[in-house]
Amino acid sequence: MATTNYTLYINQGSDFAQTLTAYDSTGTARDITGYTGKAQLRRSYASTSNVEFTINIASPTSGNVVVTLSNAATANLKYGRYLYDLELTKTSSSTIERLYEGIAVIYPQITRAGA
């Protein structure tokens, strides 16, 4: 499976959900039954701190993976550019594949509670 480069756009202080699809080398959606996922957001490659996305393999036979962040998690992000990747692990062999990677743009929040 090839790694796909994709930009995420995240609004600070809002719930975030994005469906990403696994494709095979011919561009056909790939069955990812029996896989688990993990994704992290970091300010830079060298950053030791990260934010974990919640992963839901919503429709494994269609290759769909939903990555989410709560509004509380996005509220704590400083606006600007971050890096992320999404990896899938085949549970039967513990083989790890990078499915997506790229930049995540965090847009600043204007409306705030109690302000």
Paired tokens of 33: 């039954």
Full-model pTM? 0.91
pLDDT tens-digit series, residues 23-81: 988 999 999 999 999 999 999 999 999 999 999 998 999 999 999 999 999 999 999 99
| Nearest alpha-carbon partner for 106 in 4, 16, 5 | 16
**In the chain, where the domains are located:** 4-107
CATH architecture designation of domain 4-107: Sandwich (2.60)
Contact 5, 50 (CB under 8 A): no
